[in-house]
Structure 1
């Protein structure tokens, strides 16, 4: 009976960054605008509006994948990605991001309960590091992952599975909890086999979108995640 209860513990928690634990105040759209302009997409044009809408619709996906879809050509996609990362990095350095309310406290509580916490992103490593530095978060969690660290970005399960393999924190994927603010986060969690896949309403997508993508829970914010995990474990007993 004891081992059965132990196996219900969600001892690996994989959290998204922008929109889930980090408030970036629409910086993705601003940085995209700068990157698109560099590639000759006229601000205010129908082409710009169409591309910006695609960026909104694919929030959470690996950014290089988004730019490949938008520009078709690999060289252009790489240039757009570099331009985006530079623009986003400059905005981050300008003090334009902050932890979402309750995020640091939630991570602290999860860790105090003996859980391993991993932060993931759809951004490149340079941007992820810029965010971690700006927030003073380099030592906050056990591991941070970007798409290049894992193979593919969301909606593939690679980052969640990389967290599972690299941390060795749990003996099965059913003992992973995943939380994010986009449909892509939910899909990656479901596809990894995670036991709990929580959508939060502080970012890109609304409750129906998160549920349609497979969310097992929808929470007002990541601040409610520790309680949701505790309730899941109590039910599993």
Structure 2
């Protein structure tokens, strides 16, 4: 695995869905119900393993190109209807705000990455005051191709004119996208993938949770020395 000088990185990109907020199983259930509207019954475990892809990639991946051609747009609309009532159940993982604040204090520009609908991203950010912590964030409006294509990460970097980034994500699709851009990445296990799968996809290290990553930041490429920045990135007088 390539070795890096921690000083070379200026941007930290955090995936939102499944990494900072606990959404993956809600997404899987919403997709199950969307397919059932069309008398298509897909095992929830199979749907879960595709979560992290964008909907444009997920439908053909789990149901085939023919279903995508016939029903893809309608399935994505159905998914949105099924997912909406579940939004109120979604919660951030423990220590997310503390983790993001610590990364900011260490001198990184913080970008939060999602290819989700803008209204969903706004809801997630409100759960942990993400707009106060991050310099920028992405939504579906920022990308044409979703993960495992690298467009989302590229868009995140362009939001802040970043030069060199470190990614934190939860799914193999995050790390496949990162590998295509040469971005080093760390995994949290909340996506439901095994350590071996995450490492094989390109994760440098796997952490149990955001809380454990926070405890071990000094062992990662996010270990740049703490600056004089306050908890929301403002300089303390």
Please tell me the TM-score bracket, short chain as reference.
0.7 to 0.9
- Structure 2: distance between partners of 1:133 and 1:227: 24
Question: Deviation string for 1:205-232 (max 9, x for gaps)?
Answer: 1100101101111112223445655434
The CA distance in 1 between the partners of 2:212 and 2:127, in whole Å, is 24
For 1:142 and 1:122, the matched residues in 2 are separated by: 17
* Distance in 1, Cα, partners of 2:173 & 2:179: 10
Indicate if the aligned counterparts of 1:59 and 1:204 stay in contact, CA closer than 8 A. Answer: no
Aligned to 1:13: 12
**Alignment match, 1:44:** none
Of 193, 208, 211, which aligns to 2:182? 193
Match of 1:149 in 2: 142
Is 1:184 aligned to 2:156, yes or no?
no
Shift of 1:128: 2.4
Structure 2: tracts of 5 or more residues without a match: 225-237
**For the Cα contact (< 8 Å) 2:103–2:222, is it kept in 1?**
no
Question: Which of these residues, 82, 88, 92, is aligned with residue 87 of structure 1?
Answer: 82
CA contact (8 A) 1:25 1:96 kept: no
How is 1:37-76 mapped onto 2 (pairs within 5 angstroms)? 37-41=36-40, 47-49=41-43, 52-69=44-61, 70=63, 72-74=67-69, 76=71
Q: Indicate if the aligned counterparts of 1:88 and 1:127 stay in contact, CA closer than 8 A.
A: no
RMSD: 2.8
Gaps of 5+ in 1: 42-46
Residues 137 and 20 (structure 1), Cα distance of their counterparts in 2 relative to 1, 3 Å cut: same
SS in structure 2 of the partner of residue 18 of structure 1: coil
Query: After the TM superposition, which of the residue ranges 121-130 and 96-105 deviates more from structure 2?
Result: 121-130
1:28 maps to which residue? 27
In structure 2, what is the Cα distance between the partners aligned to 1:66 and 1:135?
28
Q: How many residues align?
A: 219
Partners of 2:215 and 2:129 lie apart in 1 by 25
Runs of 4+ in 1 over 6 A off after TM superposition: none
Tell me how far 1:116 sits from its aligned partner: 1.4
